[in-house]
Structure 1
Amino acid sequence: MVWILLIAGVVAVDPLVDVDYAQYLGTARPGGVTDWLGIRYAAPPLANLRFAAPQDPLPAGGVQVADQHGLICLSTPGDPNDTTTSEDCLFLDVYAPSSSTNSSKLPVYFFIQGGGFSTNSNANYNGTGLIEASGMNIVVVNFNYRVGPYGFLASQEVVEGGSLNNGLWDQRKALEWVKKYISRFGGDPDHVVLGGDSAGAGSIVYHLTAYGGRNDGLFHAVAAESQSFATLLTPELSQYQYNNLVIRAGCTGVPDTLACLRNLTTAGLQTININTASPGAQYAPLYMYGPTIDGALLPDLTYRLFADGHFIRVPAIFGDDTNEGTIFVYNTTNTIGDSDAFIQAQFPNVTLQQLATINSMFPEVNETFPMAPNAGHYWRQGSNAYGEIRYICPGIFISGALQRAGIPGSWNYHYNVEDPSQVAEGYGVPHTVEVNAIWGPQYVSGTPPASYLTTNAQVVPVMQGYWTSFIRSFDPNTYRYPGSAEWSTWGEQGYQRLLIQSNGTMVEMVPEAQQTRCAYLSSIGINLRQ
């Protein structure tokens, strides 16, 4: 029997929640947080729904026991025999204070995981730590979305017989689910903060500029970690990706190549699901599939949209880690030719003159922290260049655009908390490492740096204080951790950001040298198709 508790005429959030098409039974944990794991927010994207926009979830009879995460979406490349992934992957998790009611209207943190639009790299993070840090005053939602060709295959055939940008449509489908149902878990559908890291933060950027900045009321503030500006193609420019997949599938001799791809088994498609070199590049990029300019959801290049003011005006946090590029650039990069070939593989439109200018701005030698043993001489050079091109400078550009648009709440951060092991390995403070502090090291699905449980443990409540304050009030300062610095906005003059280090927080100005580099890199962003 399921008991419903009545408090002053209000129905308390019960572990059994009805979402119209199904009933999900969550788990009330001893610490005061209830979780519902593996909730379907869309129909299984199988058969004719492969390469199609997400559809409403199908009705399910009986009580669904929501105590297991759903399988995560298939990766590119990916092992066809991986039992942790599935094409049937459109699930979400909800975490809420057990004491909340269906009229609590708690702020909602909706987290979009990263993975370069090629994998679900932050799956199944546990929202308990953030809820506890908020004083039991928020609801947390995370979810899976399609990636690789399942989420982002593009071509004329897909335009005519499928749907572009399905991974982004999955995200919006989950946001629509939150709008419709989150009040039944204690959340406020009119107070939703989008969070995300890497490709998840890049997704935030695409939702801000969707339809040229049309506000559909799906979210009300954003907090983006290491926003990613990758190469954006059109269906026409993506045709080579589709053609290569069709050739590998043996579908060239059929009248309907898209139907042929849909008829492949999941294992069969995964066997040929690899990255291939872009036209003009010397080898495949790290991430080939990604969002596509479709003239509607993604109407134009991101740099142009922000420069022209075509974005939703909401309070926003953007920011980056000191060494964004180190985990991406091959540590065997030993010559300037190696470095340039890597940059070209990721941004095939880059010109020889632009590469020459980039090389002049990023010298080989960097004395700021040690090189990894046996690393190539240009690993650090390539890492510094790539980190600023793809991550740091786009964040700086967006913060400035928001400030110029008159948004009073435009904050930026520089995360510089060093883990001794990562520094010794030459990675410095790498891409999205702050997720361990924001969620709490015991609540992430990967292995956190050891120092976040010891010498850097004091950083966790500081980051959680800023994040939960922003989630609750759209301002990172309102409920910030005692003793942490007041986080100033980008400022009328610009380039003002929060520096987070092991020994504390303070406001800093973006160094002039970085301002100069970013001014150039942003100026060529449209040419690079960012």
Structure 2
Amino acid sequence: MLRYSVILLVAAFATAATATATKPPPVTVTVTVACESTPTPTVDLGYGRYAATVNDTGYPYYKFSNIRYAAPPVGDLRFRQPVAPSGSDSTVHGGKTGYSCMQGDPAWYLQVAAGLVLPAFIEGKNVSSVVGKAAASQDSSSPATPSLSDIPKQDATTSEDCLFLDVLVPQTIYESPRRTDTKGKGGAPVLVWIYGGGYTSGDKSGHAETLLASAKDNGEDGFIYVAFNYRLGMFGWLAGSTLEKDGSANVGLYDQKLALEWIQSNIHLFGGDAERVTVMGESAGASSIMHHITAYGGKKGNAPFRRAILQSPGWLPSKAAAADENIFQQTLTIASTVTNKKITTLSGLRSLTSSELYLVNAAVVGLSPYGSFTYGPTVDGDYVPKLPGDLLLNGNFDKSVEVMAAHNANEGILFATPFAKSNKDMATYLKSAVPSLDDTALEVILDSVYPEVFDGSFDYTDQFERAATIVGEAFFSCNTRYLEAAFGEKSYSYLFDAVNRGFHGEDLTYTFYNGPSAVADGGTVNATVAKALQSYITHFVATGNPNGGSAPFFPQYGSNSSVQVVAPDDFGTQITDPEDNKRCSWWQSATVYDD
């Protein structure tokens, strides 16, 4: 359950190089017949041939696994924007599993939050009291500091060479005559999954089969499913003025961008329509989509997708060059400690072995301040010219996208510190988690926006709930309000509150529901709610409208700020968006971060 919580619940919290990269040779498709009775498709991309595996039980589909969409980002390509594959290769690839990017998890989450906070909160106990007793010998504002010996061994399936994607194609779609249309016109819709995990963990693997079948069950023709890896932690999100002299910030976003462009160029080979692509993501995946919608401030054409489903978009906003540079220098210092080498430059960091870099990344991420992951998107003045909330507020985004956004009832619980006992502790917690937070704004946050008032009038009754409210709104649920207010009549919104208390990431077991199963920390998945949520998703992928199945009517967000409740007790009801409030407006409009 612990690992499940980290990946799925934190399942927490993408150009010059690609524009100038050599284009691969023209693509062709061939089908070879294996000894079995079922034909095995093979797609020739010029730089490699990829064979599918066949699933002929239940809902028949072909799975093309681990298709390379970028050159290996190793050696001199480390910390740079990805480069498209080139050359010619007749080797047939496919069928293997694995290929995840380098991972890392914060020690605060593994050691404290998953072990004490969540169970205590579910049981209705005073979280601060419970954790306080267990951590009596610790500092009042943080969990115990981990050591290098705490770093787990690198998983054999992880690698720096990880920029691969999977394509799942229902057999009826692949075998359709429409697939022969080289432009993909009239092909099947496509759903692209971008995973979450705090920008430090996660991978493209998942259980999309039931979601594929759900589309067919709802009377639709089905869709193609694509999932891809992108670089994580230090490998994908290292920034700072020193790095940007010989590298790029936000390379994880550029990885995603290249994968989405690959889909635009190649999805017709599988029977898909490049003009009917929907991206879907949770947490870090959803906030990545926010960054793509607002890319270049909307000044360089449309995003490489038509629709977007954003579940709990969350990240710790960063626009401060000084904070980014501090993290870069911290990374160099830790690299020196871990490797017993003097690492003082980016080239020195690039010169390390992959195994050494794994340890460096794991150490930096592991030492992340409570509630943070250290690495993530930052304002780079190019792909991310300003914070997405600012860009959405001022109309600087791709307005052609159709949006369905969602947040959960209790987004902040997993990331709220249980150690804060006072305003001073709270200030220390917020400042350490978000170093770019302006000191003056911090004072306003704690004295006016979220004051120390525990009578319930501000939606919290103690310091822990106060911390959860601040984090939940500022770094998660307010993001959905920014999107919905910007898109208005072109958006849909739902509030997920099922099983326990609507914790961050709980909706994933509903999104990818594949039969009766338990969920983290007790309870079982409500099949009726899960199937209805899948109906909303698959209809939105097909038409841009979540309605059309047997699930309760889902109204547009519109001028009434209407939100659909997705919960067993109140399913089918609509409420006024709880994030349509002064606090979210303050976060979006206020200048709260140092430049």
TM range (shorter): 0.7 to 0.9
Q: Summarize deviations over 1:84-127 as a string: whole Å, max 9, x none.
A: 4221211111111012131561101111111222222x641122
Deviation at 1:207, TM superposition (A): 0.4
Q: CA deviation at 1:182?
A: 1.1
CA distance change for structure 1 residues 363 and 507 in 2, over 3 Å: closer, same or farther? same
Q: Which residue of 2 aligns with 1:315?
A: 402
Choose the corresponding residue for 2:513, options 425, 440, 443: 440
SS at match of 2:573: strand
Deviation at 1:347, TM superposition (A): 2.9
In structure 1, what is the equivalent of residue 205 of structure 2? 124
Distance in 1, matches of 2:156 and 2:464, equals 35
Q: Report what 1:98 is aligned to.
A: 171
Query: 2:536 is matched with which residue?
Result: 466
Report the secondary structure of 2:248's partner residue: coil
Contact 2:78 2:350 in 1 (8 A): yes
Shift of 1:303: 2.1
In the TM superposition, residue 276 of structure 1 has moved relative to its aligned partner by: 8.1
- CA shift for structure 1 position 452: 4.2
Q: Does structure 1 conserve the Cα–Cα contact (< 8 Å) formed by 2:169 and 2:224? A: yes
Contact (CA 8 Å) 1:47, 1:262: kept in 2 or not? yes
1:518 corresponds in structure 2 to 584
Bigger mean CA deviation after superposition, 24-33 or 460-469: 24-33
Alignment of 1:199-278 (within 5 A): 199-213=284-298, 214-250=300-336, 257-273=345-361, 274-275=363-364
Partner residue of 1:502?
568
| Equivalences for residues 70-469 of structure 1 within 5 A | 70-75=99-104, 79-100=152-173, 101=176, 102-103=179-180, 105-120=187-202, 123-135=204-216, 136-213=221-298, 214-250=300-336, 257-273=345-361, 274-275=363-364, 283=369, 286-313=372-399, 314-348=401-435, 349=437, 350-360=441-451, 363=454, 378-403=463-488, 408-417=489-498, 419=499, 423=500, 428-441=501-514, 451-453=523-525, 456-469=526-539
Which of 79, 85, 103 lines up with 1:51 in the alignment?
Answer: 79
Q: Which amino acid aligns with 1:495?
A: S
RMSD: 3.2
Task: From the superposition, tell whether residues 391 and 468 of structure 1 become closer, same or farther in structure 2 (CA, over 3 Å).
Answer: same
Q: Which moved more, 1:218-227 or 1:299-308?
A: 299-308
Deviation at 1:223, TM superposition (A): 0.7
CA pair 460-269 structure 1, distance change in 2 beyond 3 A? same
Distance in 2, matches of 1:334 and 1:255, equals 39
Relative distance call for 1:80 and 1:234 in structure 2 (3 A) is farther
Structure 1 or 2: more helix by fraction: 2
Kindly provide the amino acid, as one letter, of the partner of residue 533 in structure 2: M
Cα distance between partner residues in 1 of 2:572 and 2:432: 37
State the SS of the aligned residue for 2:450.
helix
Is the contact made by 1:127 and 1:443 (CA closer than 8 Å) also made in structure 2?
Answer: no
Q: 1:429 to 1:443 in 2, by over 3 A?
A: same
Match of residue 486 from structure 1: 553
The residue identity in structure 1 corresponding to 2:32 is: V
Distance 2:396 2:377 in 1: 18
Contact 1:320–1:392 (Cα < 8 Å) also in 2: yes
Give the match's secondary structure for 1:294.
coil
Cα gap change, 1:157 to 1:385, in 2 (>3 Å) = closer
Alpha carbons 1:107, 1:187 under 8 Å: kept: yes
- The one-letter amino acid of 1:175's match is L
Shift of 1:13: 9.2
Shift of 1:335: 4.5
Task: Compute the TM-score of the two structures, normalised by the length of structure 2.
Answer: 0.76
Report percent identity of matched pairs: 27
Using the TM superposition, give the Cα deviation of residue 217 of structure 1 relative to its aligned residue in structure 2, in angstroms.
4.9
One-letter amino acid matched to 1:461: K
Q: What is the SS of the residue equivalent to 1:345? A: helix
SS in structure 2 of the partner of residue 109 of structure 1: strand
Matched, 1:28 2:54: yes
Looking at structure 1, the residues matched to 573 and 494 of structure 2 have their Cα atoms a distance apart, in angstroms, of 10
Give the direction of change, closer, same or farther, for the CA distance of 1:23–1:331 in structure 2 (3 Å limit).
same
One-letter code aligned to 1:113: Y
Match of 2:67, SS? strand
Kindly state the Cα deviation for residue 243 of structure 1 after the two structures are TM-superposed: 1.4
Q: Does structure 2 conserve the Cα–Cα contact (< 8 Å) formed by 1:28 and 1:34? A: yes
**Structure 2 unmatched ranges of 5 or more:** 1-30, 107-150, 181-185
Residues 44 and 438 from structure 1, CA distance in 2 versus in 1: closer, same or farther, beyond 3 angstroms? same
Q: Which moved more, 1:63-72 or 1:74-83?
A: 74-83
CA shift, 1:250, in A, is 3.2
TM-score (norm 1): 0.84
Give the aligned residue type for 1:3: V
Q: Is the 8 A contact 1:333 1:379 kept in 2?
A: yes
Distance change (3 Å), C-alpha of 1:440 and 1:367: farther
SS state of the match for residue 415, structure 2?
A: coil
Tell whether the 8 Å contact from 1:365 to 1:381 is kept in structure 2 after alignment: no
C-alpha distance in 2 between matches for 1:165 and 1:13: 41
Residues 51-60 or 360-369, more deviating: 360-369
Aligned to 2:27: none
- The Cα shift of 1:327 comes to 1.3
Q: Counterparts of 1:360 and 1:260 in 2: how far apart (Å)?
A: 46
The answer to whether the Cα contact below 8 Å between 1:109 and 1:192 also exists between their aligned partners in 2 is yes
Moved more, 496-505 or 225-234: 225-234
RCO (CA 8 Å, sep 6+): is it higher in 1 or 2?
A: 2
With 96-105 and 165-174 compared, the bigger mean Cα shift is at 96-105
* Long gaps (5+) in structure 1: 5-11, 372-376
Counterpart of 1:218, as a letter, is: P
CA contact (8 A) 2:287 2:315 kept: yes
Amino acid across the alignment from 1:329: A
* Deviation readout 1:162-181 (Å, 9 max, x if unpaired): 12211000001110111111
Deviation at 1:130, TM superposition (A): 1.4
Quote the Cα distance in structure 2 between the aligned partners of 1:365 and 1:336: 17
* Residue 374 of structure 1: aligned partner: none
Counterparts of 1:199 and 1:66 in 2: how far apart (Å)? 28
3-state SS, counterpart of residue 398 of structure 1: helix
Residue 63 (str. 1) matches residue 99 (str. 2): no
Distance across 2 between alignment mates of 1:277 and 1:432: 21
Distance in 1, Cα, partners of 2:592 & 2:172 = 53
Question: Which one-letter code corresponds to 2:496 in the other structure?
Answer: Y
Please identify, of 240-249 and 163-172, the stretch whose mean Cα deviation from structure 2 is larger: 240-249
Q: Secondary structure at the match of 1:194?
A: strand
**Distance between the aligned counterparts of 1:72 and 1:276, measured in 2?**
15
Give the secondary-structure state (helix, strand or coil) at the position aligned to 2:80. coil
Shift of 1:508: 1.2
How far apart, CA to CA, are the structure 2 residues paired with 1:76 and 1:235?
A: 24
Q: For 2:305, what is the secondary structure of its paired residue? A: coil
- Aligned to 1:154, the other structure's residue is in SS state coil
Distance 2:322 2:366 in 1: 16
Alignment of 1:4-43 (within 5 A): 14-30=40-56, 31=58, 32-43=60-71
SS in 2 for 1:320: strand
SS at match of 1:490: coil
Check whether the contact 1:233–1:293 (CA below 8 A) recurs between aligned residues.
yes
What is the rounded CA distance, in whole Å, between the counterparts of 1:510 and 1:69 in structure 2?
40
AA matched with 1:272: V
Count of residues in Structure 1 that have an aligned counterpart in Structure 2: 492
1:108-154 CA deviation, whole Å, 9 max, x = no partner? Answer: 1111111222222x641122111111115101111110011111111
Alignment partner of 1:71: what SS? coil
Alpha-carbon offset, residue 210 of structure 1: 0.6
Which whole-Å CA distance do the structure 2 matches of 1:179 and 1:158 have between them? 31
Q: 1:333 to 1:51 in 2, by over 3 A?
A: same
Residue number in structure 2 paired with 1:8? none
